[in-house]
């Protein structure tokens, strides 16, 4: 979502939000601005799961916006940026993408990443 800053006074600014292409709304959670409410809510779920008793559900840690470069014949083609990389109590690691709309570019990058790095992207 793009924002336009309009000076209201020398000290204050009014933020005007423009409608985004896919209707997502930037949302802040825990001091982090997420691209959508869905992403922010998923992050909240991960924080709750840090207290889970079951190792399969217990979140030990997570990283946001992890970049995976894609190379073919030693030439960089593009980057895929995962929304979350989550480590669980049972030693599992998941690469998670929180999607509202699966664009053709996303679908192609997903296939390339899964082939190149030999793991599955979990979609939420």
Q: Is the pLDDT of residue 9 over 50?
A: no
Q: Is the pLDDT of residue 45 over 90?
A: yes
Instruction: Report the pLDDT averaged over residues 94-112.
Output: 95
Burial class from Cβ neighbours inside 10 Å (0-12, 13-18, 19+) for residue 90 reads: exposed
Instruction: Report the pLDDT averaged over residues 2-8.
Output: 47
How is the chain split into domains, by residue range? 37-123
Q: Is the pLDDT of residue 54 over 90?
A: yes
Q: What average pLDDT does the chain have?
A: 87
Distance CA 97, CA 20 (A): 19
> How crowded is residue 94: how many other Cβ atoms within 10 Å of its Cβ?
17
The whole-number pLDDT of residue 20 equals 73
Instruction: Report the pLDDT averaged over residues 94-110.
Output: 95
Instruction: Report the pLDDT averaged over residues 38-64.
Output: 97
């Amino acid at each position: 979502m793009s924002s336009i800053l309009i000076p209201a006074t020398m000290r204050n600014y009014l933020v005007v939000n423009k409608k985004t292409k896919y209707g997502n709304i930037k949302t802040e959670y825990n001091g982090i601005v997420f691209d959508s409410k869905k992403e922010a809510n998923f992050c909240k779920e991960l924080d709750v799961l840090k207290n889970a008793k079951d190792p399969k559900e217990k979140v030990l840690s997570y990283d946001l916006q992890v970049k995976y470069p894609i190379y073919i014949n030693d030439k960089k083609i593009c980057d895929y940026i995962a929304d979350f990389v989550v480590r669980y109590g049972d030693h599992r690691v998941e690469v998670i993408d929180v999607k509202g709309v699966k664009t053709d570019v996303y679908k192609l990058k997903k296939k390339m990443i899964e082939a190149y790095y030999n793991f599955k992207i979990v979609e939420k």
